[in-house]
């Protein structure tokens, strides 16, 4: 069964008022949300971000990654534009889950990079599934985006779903001593692009 829409409500934030749309995925028993601002009826590309859940970075302020900074940067950009959508997918740890992510962190503490750690635990480097976005885009009536991402897989995934990616907008955040190796690995092994095309 496909991801299905459940309900919407207003979500006031420090960047302004968003609408929060809740979706459920019966296959995985996970719930996902999309935060939107503005009107999408004119068919113009929508400033968008696909953000996978990162409890440690988004809510616990971890310096091991750039996730929390990317989330805040995207919400601020949408607020400044006055129009946009942030898709928040419950795919923690590139899809391996929170507890396995903690195990991966332990391997990283012993010297593995983020890709090596996932692979030593028996997972692929990136287990996220972006096909579940199709029903969300359809529900919101979004067919074209300006996508805030460093990850080329997200561009390809949207194209595969028939969503036009008019342009990719890199999300650049500052590095720190705790995430420098992580960021280098994302570029070298996962193909992330930190500059504009």
Q: Is 149 annotated as a binding residue?
A: yes
The answer on whether 52 is annotated among ligand-binding residues is yes
**73 has binding-site annotation:** no
Greatest CA separation found in the chain? 52
What is the dihedral sign for C-alpha 87, 15, 62, 31? negative
Q: Which residue out of 72, 128, 146, 184 is catalytically annotated? A: 128
State the catalytic residue, choosing from 25, 66, 126, 168: 126
Q: Is 126 part of the annotated catalytic residue set?
A: yes
Q: Residue 176 and residue 181: Cα distance in Å, rounded?
A: 10
36 appears as a binding residue in the annotation: no
Q: What angle do CA 143, 164, 15 make, to 5 degrees?
A: 65
Active site includes 160? no
- 141 marked ligand binding residue: no
User: Has 44 been labeled as part of a binding site?
Assistant: no
Residues 6+ apart with CB under 8 A from 94: 52, 118, 125, 126, 127, 128
Cite the annotated binding site for Zn(2+) by residue number: 54, 65, 67
Catalytic residue set: 126, 128
Cite the annotated binding site for GTP by residue number: 49-53, 70, 92-94, 114, 149, 154
Cite the annotated binding site by residue number: 49-54, 65, 67, 70, 92-94, 114, 149, 154
């Amino acid at each position: 069964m496909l991801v299905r829409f459940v309900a919407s409500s207003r979500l006031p934030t420090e960047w302004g008022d968003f609408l929060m749309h809740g979706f459920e995925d019966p296959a995985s028993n996970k719930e996902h949300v999309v935060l939107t601002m503005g009107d999408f009826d004119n068919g113009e590309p929508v400033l968008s971000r696909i953000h996978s859940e990162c409890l440690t970075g988004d809510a616990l302020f971890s310096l091991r990654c750039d996730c929390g900074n990317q989330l805040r940067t995207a919400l601020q950009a949408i607020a400044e534009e006055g129009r946009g959508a942030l898709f928040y997918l419950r795919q923690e740890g590139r899809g391996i889950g929170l507890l396995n992510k903690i195990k991966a962190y332990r391997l990283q503490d012993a010297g593995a990079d983020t890709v090596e750690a996932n692979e030593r635990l028996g997972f692929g480097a990136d287990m996220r599934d972006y096909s579940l976005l199709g029903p969300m885009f359809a529900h919101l009536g979004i067919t074209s985006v300006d996508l805030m991402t460093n990850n080329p897989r997200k561009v390809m995934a949207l194209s595969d779903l028939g969503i036009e990616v008019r342009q990719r907008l890199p999300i650049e955040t500052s590095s720190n001593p705790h995430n420098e190796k992580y960021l280098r690995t994302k570029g070298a092994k996962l193909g992330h692009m930190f500059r504009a095309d």
